[in-house]
Amino acid sequence: MAVTSIAGFQDNALYIIGIPIHLIFVMLLNIISLYLLGKIFKREEKRKVYNAESTHVEEFRSLVTSVWSDRHDLNNHLTVISGFMKI
């Protein structure tokens, strides 16, 4: 059944449950695009968290190395003081 619109075009669209198929197609594309945007957003958030964590890990390793070096120097100084006290 062809329906003529106000502009004079014939409506030959297929209908599913009274809804034009092109409208269903547009709605499905919108749903898929929202799903994909959600996935992209989650992936970006994970990437940001990973970068922040790796930065903190590097800073922590640097701090541990610095503390280890200071401890080593302190032990050397204490050994020297202990040696002077034995003299």
Tell me the per-residue pLDDT of 47-83, one tens digit each, with 9 for 90 and over: 999 999 999 999 999 999 999 999 999 999 999 999 9
Burial class (CB in 10 A: 0-12, 13-18, 19+), 2: exposed
The secondary structure of the chain in percent helix, strand, coil, rounded to multiples of 5, reads 75, 10, 15
Q: What pLDDT score was predicted for residue 10?
A: 57
Does this model's pTM top 0.85? My answer is no
Amino acid identity of residue 85, one-letter, is: M
